[in-house]
Structure 1
Amino acid sequence: MAARELPCGRGAQAAGARRPPRTDAAPDIHLQHELLLPHHACARPRADGIGAALDPQQPAGPRGSVPRAGDAGRAGLRPGQARDLRRRAGHRVRLGPPVARRALARGVGPAGAVSVQPVLVLHLAGSAGWAGGEAYLLKLASALDRDRFTLAVAVPEPGPLVERLHALGIATYHVPLADRLVNPRALVVLVRLFRSLRPAIVQSHGARSNVYARLAGRLAGVPVVLSTVHNSLFDYEVSPGRRRAYVLAERLTSALADRVIAVSTAVAHDLVLRYGIAASKVVTVRNGIAADAFAPARPPALVRDELGLHRDDRLIGVAARMTEQKGHRVLLDALPSVAARFPRMRCLLIGDGPLRPALETRARALGLTERCRFTGARDDVADLLAALELVVLPSWSEGLSFALLEAMALGRPVVATHVGGNPEVIDHDRTGLLVAPGDATALAGAIQRLLECPEEARAMGARGAARVRAEFPLGGMVRSLEMVYASALQGEVAKPAPSVKN
C-alpha cells in the first residue's frame, strides 16, 4: 500500500466550533512576554521549577476504526481538504520559517487584540487510546481559543480518542507510528502531511511521537516544533534497552525542537538533569482541569445501591488504566491488613487494561474476591469517585495526574505515592497523604489513618478541592500554552529557572 492515509471524516466542523469560555487564571510558565498581554494586565507569571491531565472518565467500550485509503491524495488528504484547513488557518502562501514566524505571530498576540486568521496547530498524539496524554489533548481541544488557533490531530492508530475529538469538531489524520519503533514509512507520511497542511505549529506527545515530529517538522519546514513530555521514561514500564534508545533519541533530536514542554516541575527537572536536554529548551506548563465541570450526575447513595453495596460499607477505590505503572498490585497487597481492621471495607477498581485478568487472579489469591469490585471502563467516573470515602493512587510513576486532580476536585481525600508531580498537588498532611511507591505496608497505614479519622479526611478533601481550583485550572493551563505558542512564533528563547542545577 502506498504511504497515504485518509483523514478521519468529521473534522470539517473544526472552524465553526463554538468558542469555549475563557478564564483569567494566571499562567504557570516562567516566560514573561509583554507582547502577549495587554499592558494593563501584564503581571509576571509565577516561576515554578524549570518552567514556571488522566481524565479518569474511561471510554465505555471500543470505538469505530479510523478509515484508511491508499490513493486519497498526498498524506491521505481528501481533495481540497489541506487547502481548506490552510485557508482557515490563514496560510495562503508558503513562507520560509523566519518570515512565517513574524507573519504568524501577529495572529496570536494578546487575547482580544486585532489579529489575522487563526493559525493551524497540528498535534501528533502518542496513541489513540485513553491515558494522560490523550486526556490532555481532549481538554486542550475543548478550551483552546479558536479565534486564534485552529486545531488538528494526527493519531498513530484507531482508538477512542478519535471519536471524542470528532465530537468537538477536530479533524484527525492517521499516521502509522505505532507499527514499530523505527518506521521510515511513517516519517515519509508525516512529512507529506506537514507539507500538505502547512501548520504554523506542530506539537507532539510521547517519546516516539516527539522524535518523529522533530525530524518531520524540520524536513517539512514547519515554523515551530514543540515536544510534550507527560512522564519520565526513567520510571516508565519499558525494557531497559528500549528506555536507553528512547532517551538517546530524545537527547539527540531535542535541538530540533523549539521548546520541550513538561507537564510538571518534576518532569522538567528530569528532562534537564537525567535526559541531558538543554535547560533553555524546557518550559513547564502544568496540567489543569475544569474542576466545576467534573461533577457527579447521581447522588452517592444511588451509586452505592446500583453497585450492590451496604450503606455501612467503607468504600475506597482507584481510577486508572490497569498497567504496571499504576501500581494496582501494591494496592491489592495492602488491602488484607486494611480489611482486618475494617471488615466492611470495599475497594472499587475503576478502569480496564492489559493487567486486569492478572489483577483479578491476584485478588482471588488474597481472599479479596468479595471485597474488590472491578468495574471495567466506565463513562460515569465522576459518579463513582464521588461515592468513595477516599481515593488511592498507588502509581510507580506519574507526570501530573488528571485522575488525582479530578478526585481532589470532588473533595475526596487522597492517598498517593511520592512520585513525579504528585507532591506538586498534594501537600502531605494537609491536602492528602503521600507514601513511598511500592510500599504496601505504608499504603495500608495511610488508608487506615483516613478511615479511622473521617473528620480529618473530610478536612483534607475540602482543602484539596480548594487547592485544585486555585492552582490547577484548565484555563490557566491553556492560556499558558497559548503564550508558549506565541513566544515560539516570535522566536524568543526560553530562560531556565535558577532552581535547575547540575
Structure 2
Amino acid sequence: MPSPHDLKTILYLSTSSGPGGAERVISNLAASLDPERYRAILCLFRPGWIQERSEDRGIRTFIIPTHGMTDWRWALQFKRLLRQERVDLIHAHEFDANVQGTFVAAMSGIPLVATVHGKNYFWERFRRRLAYRWVSRRATMVAVSENLKQFIVEKAGVSSDRVKVLYNGVDVLPHCGRADVDVCRKELSLPENGQIVGVVGNLYPVKGHQYLIDGIPAVLTKCPNTSFVFAGRGQLETELKEQVHRLGLDSRVYFLGLRQDIPRILAMLDVFVLPSLSEGLSMAILEAMIAGKPVVATRVGGNPELVLDGETGFLVPPRDGKALASSLVTLLTNRQQAARFGEKGKRRAEGQFSLQTMVRAYQSLYDECLQSSL
C-alpha cells in the first residue's frame, strides 16, 4: 500500500453543488481514481448535494465561499488550501471554477484541467469569451462532446488545438427486478398496468419539459394507457403543473421531485425521453442507456453523439411536441423495436461511455499534465 506522500493529490473544484449531471460526473470520477496512484479531494463554493454524496464516498470536501471573479480573499484561501493539502493538479468544472481556479493555479505553479459541460453561461458576454480564451492558454481545456468543442471554438474564439474531447462516463446501475418495479409503481400510485414514459432532469427552461407535455395528448390518443413521470425539481414546477392541469392530464402525469432512487425509476420505464433545448453530454441519457431503455431525445448538443437515430432511439427537432409524440408512439406500439434499441444502447453505453473509460481517459490526461509541469 503506497504512503500518502507517494500519491498524486487531485483537487476537484466545482462551480455548482448540484444536484445535476456535471456534479454526478465529478463525484463519480473523484471516487473512482486509482487509489494506488491518486488521492482525490473536493473544493466547493457552497455546500450542497455533491458535498453530501462525495463525503459519503470518503472524499474530503472543503467549502470556500466566493463573491465572484475578483474575490481576492477566496484566491488567498484557495492558494493556502493547495499548499496545505499538497495538491498536484486541479480539475475545475464549469465557468467560475475554471476561471478562478486557473488564476490561482497560475500563481501556484500547479497544472489545471478545465472541463466545460454546457453552453448556456459564457458565450453571450464578450468578457466571458475573453476569459475562456485566457483559460485555454493557461490550462488544459476539456469539452464533454465534439459538438461542445466546436461551440467553444466558434463562439469563444478558442483555438481548436487547445480543446480536448473526453466523454462523460456512467457506472453500471444497481439491478432492479420485477419486484422492485412493482413496489416502485405502488409507492408512486402509478397504475398497475400500462406503459410508462419518463424524463429525468431538473425542471428548468433549457430542459424543454413544456414541449413534451404539449405532445402528451397525441400520445394518449394512440396509447391511452400510458403514464408519464417527471423526476426532478426546479423553477418551472408550478408552471408545468398548471400546463398539465390545463390540458386535462392530471391523471396521467406524475411529478416525482428530486429522487435518490433513479435506478428504480429507470427500471420501470418503457421509454426514456429528454426534450432538452441544449445539452453538453447528457448523463440522464447515459443512465437510461445503461439501464437498457430506448431513448427519444432532441437533436441538440451532444445527444447525437450518444443516441444513434433509428438504432438506439430516435432524435427529433427541439421545441416540437408533435415529433416527440410521434417517436414515443412508435416505440410504445412496437415493443420488439423498443427492446432492440434498448439492448443496443446498453452495449454502447457499457463500451464507449462507461465510467471506467472516462476514468482511464482523465487519468491519462492527469499524467500528461503532471509530466509536462516537471
Superposition TM-score tier, normalisation by shorter sequence: over 0.9
Equivalences for residues 328-343 of structure 1 within 5 A: 328-343=209-224
> How far apart are 1:308 and its partner, in Å?
2.3
1:229 equivalent to 2:116? Answer yes
Equivalences for residues 43-442 of structure 1 within 5 A: 88=4, 90=5, 117-177=6-66, 179-180=67-68, 182-222=70-110, 224-232=111-119, 236=120, 243-257=125-139, 259-291=140-172, 293-296=173-176, 298-442=179-323
> How far apart are 1:477 and its partner, in Å?
0.7
Quote the Cα distance in structure 2 between the aligned partners of 1:244 and 1:433: 36
Quote the Cα distance in structure 2 between the aligned partners of 1:282 and 1:239: 16
> How far apart are 1:139 and its partner, in Å?
0.9
SS at match of 2:238: helix
Q: Percent identity?
A: 33
2:343 to 450, 462, 485: 462
Residue identity opposite 2:316 in structure 1: V
What CA deviation, in whole Å up to 9, does each residue of 1:153-181 have, x standing for no partner?
1001010211211112111111213x446
Higher helix share: 2
Residue identity opposite 2:370 in structure 1: L
The change in CA–CA distance for 1:464 and 1:216 in structure 2 (over 3 A counts) is same
TM-score, L = length of structure 1: 0.70
Quote the Cα distance in structure 2 between the aligned partners of 1:269 and 1:379: 34
Residue identity opposite 1:445 in structure 2: S
| Contact kept in structure 2, 1:431 and 1:463, CA below 8 Å | yes
| Contact kept in structure 2, 1:267 and 1:421, CA below 8 Å | yes
Quote the Cα distance in structure 1 between the aligned partners of 2:75 and 2:330: 52
> How far apart are 1:186 and its partner, in Å?
2.5
Residue identity opposite 2:176 in structure 1: P
Quote the Cα distance in structure 2 between the aligned partners of 1:260 and 1:184: 24
Quote the Cα distance in structure 2 between the aligned partners of 1:126 and 1:213: 10
Residue identity opposite 1:449 in structure 2: T
> How far apart are 1:182 and its partner, in Å?
4.7
> How far apart are 1:398 and its partner, in Å?
1.3
> How far apart are 1:314 and its partner, in Å?
2.2
The structure, 1 or 2, with the larger RCO (C-alpha pairs under 8 Å, 6+ apart) is 1
| Contact kept in structure 1, 2:144 and 2:166, CA below 8 Å | yes
SS at match of 1:169: coil
Aligned residues: 372
> How far apart are 1:203 and its partner, in Å?
0.9
> How far apart are 1:196 and its partner, in Å?
3.1
Quote the Cα distance in structure 1 between the aligned partners of 2:38 and 2:168: 20
Quote the Cα distance in structure 2 between the aligned partners of 1:455 and 1:464: 14
> How far apart are 1:359 and its partner, in Å?
1.4
The corresponding residue for 1:109 is none
Bigger CA drift: 276-285 or 134-143?
A: 276-285
> How far apart are 1:310 and its partner, in Å?
2.6
The change in CA–CA distance for 1:200 and 1:181 in structure 2 (over 3 A counts) is closer
The change in CA–CA distance for 1:221 and 1:245 in structure 2 (over 3 A counts) is same
Quote the Cα distance in structure 2 between the aligned partners of 1:320 and 1:414: 14
Quote the Cα distance in structure 2 between the aligned partners of 1:490 and 1:181: 29
> How far apart are 1:378 and its partner, in Å?
1.4
Higher strand share: 2
Residue identity opposite 1:246 in structure 2: R
Quote the Cα distance in structure 2 between the aligned partners of 1:134 and 1:220: 26
Gaps of 5+ in 1: 1-14, 17-86, 91-116, 493-502
Quote the Cα distance in structure 1 between the aligned partners of 2:184 and 2:26: 29
> How far apart are 1:416 and its partner, in Å?
0.5
Quote the Cα distance in structure 1 between the aligned partners of 2:126 and 2:284: 29
| Contact kept in structure 2, 1:138 and 1:165, CA below 8 Å | yes
Quote the Cα distance in structure 2 between the aligned partners of 1:133 and 1:406: 13
The corresponding residue for 2:334 is 453
| Contact kept in structure 2, 1:409 and 1:465, CA below 8 Å | yes
| Contact kept in structure 1, 2:129 and 2:155, CA below 8 Å | no
Bigger-Rg structure (1/2): 1
| Contact kept in structure 2, 1:294 and 1:406, CA below 8 Å | no
Quote the Cα distance in structure 2 between the aligned partners of 1:324 and 1:182: 30
The change in CA–CA distance for 1:248 and 1:296 in structure 2 (over 3 A counts) is farther
TM-score, L = length of structure 2: 0.93
> How far apart are 1:244 and its partner, in Å?
4.1
Quote the Cα distance in structure 1 between the aligned partners of 2:126 and 2:240: 29
| Contact kept in structure 1, 2:31 and 2:54, CA below 8 Å | no
Gaps of 5+ in 2: none
> How far apart are 1:301 and its partner, in Å?
2.7
**What's the C-alpha RMSD, in Å, of the aligned pairs?**
2.1
What CA deviation, in whole Å up to 9, does each residue of 1:315-369 have, x standing for no partner?
1110111111211111111112212222222100111122212211221122211
Bigger CA drift: 197-206 or 186-195?
A: 186-195
Residue identity opposite 1:143 in structure 2: S
SS at match of 2:34: coil
> How far apart are 1:276 and its partner, in Å?
1.7
The corresponding residue for 1:75 is none
